[in-house]
Amino acid sequence: MSANSFDARSSLQVGDESYEIFKLSAVEGSERLPYSLKVLLENLLRTEDGANITADHIRALGNWDATAEPSEEIQFTPARVIMQDFTGVPCVVDLATMREAVKELGGDPAKINPLAPAELVIDHSVIADKFGTPDAFVQNVEIEYGRNKERYQFLRWGQTAFDEFKVVPPGTGIVHQVNIEHLARTVMVRNGQAYPDTCVGTDSHTTMVNGLGVLGWGVGGIEAEAAMLGQPVSMLIPRVVGFKLNGQLPAGTTATDLVLTITEMLRKHGVVGKFVEFYGEGVSAIPLANRATIGNMSPEFGSTCAIFPIDAETINYLKLTGRDEQQLALVEAYAKEQGLWHDPSVEPVYSEYLELDVSTVVPSISGPKRPQDRVVLAEAAAKFAEALPTYSAEASKPTAVTAPDGSSYEIDNGAVVIASITSCTNTSNPSVMLGAALLAKKAVEKGLTVKPWVKTTLAPGSKVVMDYYEKAGLLPYMEKLGFNLVGYGCVTCIGNSGPLPEEVSAAVNEADLAVVSVLSGNRNFEGRINPDVKMNYLASPPLVVAYALAGNMNVDITRDALGKDADGNDVFLADIWPSEQEVADVVAGSIDQDMFDKGYQDVFAGDQRWQSLPVPTGNTFEWDAESTYVRKPPYFEGMAKTPSPVTDIAGARVLAKLGDSVTTDHISPAGNIKPGTPAAQYLTENGVEKRDFNSYGSRRGNHEVMIRGTFANIRLRNQIAPGTEGGYTRDFTQADGPVSFIYDASQNYQAAGIPLVVLAGKEYGSGSSRDWAAKGTALLGVKAVIAESYERIHRSNLIGMGVLPLQFPAGQTADSLGLTGEETFSFEGVTELNEGRTPKTVKVTAGDVTFDAVVRIDTPGEADYYRNGGILQYVLRSLIG
């Protein structure tokens, strides 16, 4: 029950239904707040308890000073939690482990239960092993079930053991697209109350739902577990960047071009830790699918969210996707009653302002290694040639390949070996998906074919895509070019691209070629897409098809021919690019509400394969000692009912000294498990054949595999082991500190009782919200990280695992301080936390160097988590206390 200090409790009548609501107008100053802060204000009004959430917190939000630096902490209680299976499995593993820990401490295991609706979509496990054939989808799903049976049985147990926990089975769609098409409420109804739908998710691209006016963002799995267990998310009232949109997209451009432009602008502006909100006359002209595409890319520009307010377009989309009439009426009535309905004539107050005339957007791609590195399409070939020397000493290395059918061809640096329409970013967007299919149709009619070395894959975000492809009669053209359905899942974007054909892989590796992937995803970090592929470019689906036809990044697809027609005439991109009107006509004629109704009518039931999985029973899980997928983690071993005092850190050694822009992909295990690595050795010792290693993501429920893969990315450069790439360090427990695997060194340090430190540069932990980046760090024995700056999610996740995040003094770096990584470190002043205060700095001594490091425990809530050794320990103690 809310304390209701502002007398905000009221009712709203919609048709025959009456709902309890908390009126924002009861708080002075609420009318001038940006949309996103109004949503937070309602959250505080409804959850005011006089302790964690007080009248002063509500007043502070009502009196928000747009110009101030964030300093006021609030507790935000999300309406629901959404997960994908890679990050969701460890969440459920942890909940199952907490049930046992509660039992051991004399509590009731049933208390460990999601208190907010929690939905998990299995979308990260399908790998594009098979491609380019009509039965690729069926074969890949068959392989997926074979590889992941233990995980899927475990999730089915979770579905029966936990209240408020639902699972969307494999082969349905991508979590973010299932969210916008079906799970998102926009306005939530629960226990007679109506309030804004808000969510946190275990995937950074949870922000896709911002396109529907739903405030939500990605958190680490650690924070998501706490949110499921009723813990609010601790945050500072943020700065809000107002992004004004004017004009309309010009002919020849796509939503992808728009989002890459926005990504570049916002990265340049600097929005880490801030909310971004779109407003202005141009918003009304932006279709919901484009809004979702923009919201999805929020992690790529670094903001917490990138939200669009509710308007008529929101209602139209909710209707199209099959939400019922009462829900549509409620969303509109509630938004208008609470001042959440978009009025383009009003200029809200923002902390910072940006503006884009959408008509200035030009065709673009992004790469070769970061989403924010936008390249104008007309300059792509030249920019590729500029970037190539970083990846290859030679501009050209023609290499002969003989295919299984006996035919032969040559590949060279810049060969496009993967062309993939994948990930939620663009597969939510009918205009680009149908644009790609129309381009394929024109290409086929001209007699063009995809180059033989290109692995072509189609992995839509939703089954509805295949329905509208079929209705439009365009599927045969996609399939003719090899873009057969490989699965409904994230696939290429998360490193599940599957192996290249053996002969292509062999040629690439023997000649050390710098080959390329082109994908319609949102992530192109080094080492992420495929171990054979050094350079990765993000592009719209039509351009993915165009590059599959061109076959090489050295081809200037805006000027060079893509191939020849049946009469030997050159065919150019302009000859096959569909007009805006053609795309609009096909979109209008091929998508209807029935497709969504059919696609989602029994979304949690699954197919025969899912339903026939044997499911364990009981409210605690029976761990299988032989399982290499799901194991009980050690987080609560030896945990007492009350926490031990925090101690200073002494005698620490450096596990890794890293540069700038080290992403959670570099830290957290992802992609394939490479033979010869510690993770592969562990699996081999446990009787797993190489062909069944599967990916790190699929084994996230097994901490033994994950620890061994932490900091093991093939592109990681650890500066204390110069000349190495991958998971190597120097082991100073031995004479002269020989180079060894990071995992092996960590085991020796822990056996010797030596704590560990990581040194890093700017933007440490950017990228996906990977909880294992923090879990693995902690389990390797790292007690502190010192970086120049952090990305928001990873910093808070480190605290959630009991690791101390510190920052070098302003203007200083590890190198400017003369640190080599060979020093022994000590940290003094950490114990001030025992007195209920968070120190601003701690004294760091490293060899002969002394400096004051800034403590990046930013809120009192984070301090509580750190004192308890982590967020899960804090929650567990709270529940049994």
CA dist 65 and 322 (Å) reads 40
Looking at residues 472-491, what average pLDDT do you find?
Answer: 96
Q: Which of 285-294, 423-432, 743-752, 870-879 has the highest mean pLDDT?
A: 743-752
pLDDT digits (tens, 9 = 90+) for 579-598: 999 999 999 999 999 999 99
Please give the angle made by the CA atoms of 141, 146 and 149, to the nearest 5 degrees.
Answer: 105
Quote the pLDDT of residue 207: 96
Cα angle 312, 460, 543 (rounded to 5 degrees) comes to: 90
Question: How are strands ordered across the β-sheet holding 535-538?
Answer: 374-376, 364-366, 535-538, 516-519, 416-421, 455-458
The pLDDT, as a whole number, for residue 766 is 86
CATH of domain 80-360: 3.30.499.10
Lowest-pLDDT choice from 242-251, 457-466, 540-549, 872-881: 872-881
- Give percent of the chain above pLDDT 90: 81
What integer pLDDT is reported at residue 629 of this predicted model? 93
- Same fold for the domain at 80-360 and the one at 364-591? yes
Which pLDDT score, from 0 to 100, does residue 618 have? 85
pTM of the model as a whole: 0.86
- Helices 288-296 and 255-269 meet at what angle, rounded to 10? 40
Burial of 560 (0-12, 13-18, 19+ CB in 10 A): middle
Residue 769 has pLDDT above 70, yes or no: no
Given this model, what pLDDT does residue 840 score? 97
Cα separations (Å) of 241 from 66, 67, 353, 659, 731?
9, 11, 6, 29, 46
Of the candidate ranges 32-41, 85-94, 818-827, the one whose mean pLDDT is the lowest: 85-94
- Give tens-digit pLDDT for 790-811: 987 789 889 999 999 999 999 9
For the chain, what is the mean pLDDT? 94
- Is it the case that residue 698 has pLDDT exceeding 90? no
- The average pLDDT across 428-455 equals 96
pLDDT tens digits, one per residue of 3-62: 999 999 999 999 999 999 999 999 999 999 999 999 999 999 999 998 889 999 999 999
User: Does residue 86 register a pLDDT over 90?
Assistant: no
Distance CA 399, CA 390 (A): 20
Angle among Cα 85, 778, 842 to the nearest 5 degrees reads 135
Let me know: does 225 contact 801? Beta carbons within 8 Å. no
Closest CA to 334 of 314, 354, 359: 314
Distance between CA atoms of residues 593 and 476, nearest Å: 24
- Does 576 or 698 have the greater pLDDT score? 576
Enter the tokens of residue 81. Answer: 């939690």
pLDDT in tens, 164-180: 999 999 999 999 999 99
At residue 616 the predicted structure's pLDDT band, cuts being 50, 70 and 90, is confident
Q: Which residue has the tokens 């501009």?
A: 395
pLDDT digits (tens, 9 = 90+) for 114-172: 988 999 999 998 999 999 999 999 999 999 998 888 899 999 999 989 989 999 999 99
CA distance 101 to 120: 24
Q: What is the pLDDT of residue 803?
A: 98
Consecutive H or E run containing 409: strand 408-411
* Domain residue limits, the chain: 9-31+46-61, 80-360, 364-591, 649-880
Which residues, 6+ apart, have CB-to-CB distance to 610 below 8 Å?
A: 152, 156, 169, 170
Identify the pLDDT of residue 694.
84
Can you give the pLDDT at residue 121? 96
Instruction: Decide if pLDDT at 204 tops 90.
Output: no
The CATH architecture of the domain made up of 649-880 is Alpha-Beta Barrel (3.20)
Residue 197 near residue 81 (C-beta atoms within 8 A): no
What's the pLDDT at 229?
A: 85
Tell me which residue of 749, 710, 746 sits closest to 726, measured CA to CA.
710
Residue 691, judged by CB atoms within 10 A of its CB (0-12, 13-18, 19+), counts as: exposed
Q: Of the candidates 635, 458, 628, which has an alpha carbon nearest to the alpha carbon of residue 544?
A: 458
For 322, list phi and psi in degrees, rounded to 5. Answer: 95, 15
| CATH of region 364-591, choose from 3.30.460.10, 3.30.9.60, 3.30.499.10, 3.10.350.10 | 3.30.499.10
- Give the three-class secondary structure for 783: strand
| Burial class of 400 by CB neighbour count within 10 A (0 to 12, 13 to 18, 19+) | exposed
pLDDT of residue 615: 86
For the record, the structure tokens of 838 come out as: 């968070």
State the CB neighbour count (10 A cutoff) for residue 781.
21
Residue 801: DSSP 8-state: T
* Per-residue model confidence as pLDDT tens digits over 406-434: 999 999 999 999 999 998 888 779 999 99
Q: What pLDDT, on a 0 to 100 scale, did the predictor assign at position 670?
A: 81
384-411 pLDDT, tens per residue?
999 999 999 999 999 999 999 999 999 9
Q: What are phi and psi of 336, to 5 degrees?
A: -70, -40
Residue matched to tokens 């002494």: 650
